[in-house]
Structure 1
């Protein structure tokens, strides 16, 4: 009995090659054009983290000379921030800081390196919570305090404002507008009021205590959050300095935490040179597939 030879079959290598090339083309095209497939999106780098918290320093002692300020991390003792020659009435910008405990030290600007600080205050920085560290009062009885700040945006067309009473001339101060609108009443030395919403614009303020009365003009832009610091002027009278707090917190996220290059981020369009290279690559793949298909067809003839 003669055993007949089986009919020639198409080479499996050709079939596998065709299928592999097709899969390669399907995979290369979206990746080369920058289309985010699910695995690519998951592998994209995460957005940079926002600062954990913020702190700033205010020099509110009228007879304390200019000071140098150091902010030191309690864990490890590293100096994380320094300010030189901070004068009376100065309020620094907010400093972005990791969550933790810090020590704020102030020494006279002309002091020697081994001088004892005139102010040393431990502060806690918490995630998402700005604070103000203030030195106030007369130099002989210098005090420090920490104010919790709230930079939530006001309603449209309005501003949010509070008062910090740091004058040494009056133990209590009232703040009203010249038009008779009350901003704050009986604010005690070293304290801060809550924030009040007021119509945005320029205001003439009346500052009054038991013995002293003064006027001060302030500007409260729409959408701003501000602090009015009640201080002593060079002539020994009440005065006010307004700091727009929301303008000194450059790293504060707006509109939620920023999204980066991953997840739902929109991919940018591919450059023209890249697209040309992809077209050439696909052309080569197609040509190879045609050759393999012809060889496959000859094998079955």
Structure 2
């Protein structure tokens, strides 16, 4: 072993231990989904044979298919609408730049400091007045326009050459055509990063759907997991299986878009 390798060895050991510590909760979740509740409480670290038994109990206790459907509907709807609205807003803030828009952007960023609990009751009252309680519309709309995504697209738009916009205008293209045909194709990595962030946030959202969806028939996966713990006795094997099922869509999405996600975040920071 050379001196250079010897100097790097402590760093490699530290990174390896950190990686193991990060992966262990995921491993324990997967293994626990195959074990009985007693094995989970005893911290068994080896796979068991109770996977199908846990699945049968889960399906008997909760409507998993319905919860997955409503979670998917809310998450996909929120993601698509948020990408459209926030990308247009970020593009407008940068391409049609002015001091007034800078002040408005600063005001929007300040709004990020307001906790959701402070706005939850007025939001519920507003949706109740419109008769939208117990609907996916009420779940999706509050998350469609977020200051963070607007800022993300605005920062990405700063690297977009404004000369192209001027040339497209001289060629007779309208602003929407410039946005959809020229700007968006160059922002694929930013779109991927925003899609991952929005989908994961919408999928894991618990508090607002719990408040606005008063009927369990419209419950999402986080609500389903909460209901599994609501009884006097909790079957932790079934609970871990539900957590695993709820985690799969976000994990798959992140694995598919992880490279574009990293490029979009680093590009926005630059």
The higher-RCO structure (CA 8 Å, 6+ apart) is 2
TM-score (structure 2 length as normaliser): 0.23
> By percentage of residues, which structure has more strand?
1
TM-score (structure 1 length as normaliser): 0.21
> By percentage of residues, which structure has more helix?
2
Bigger Rg over Cα: 1
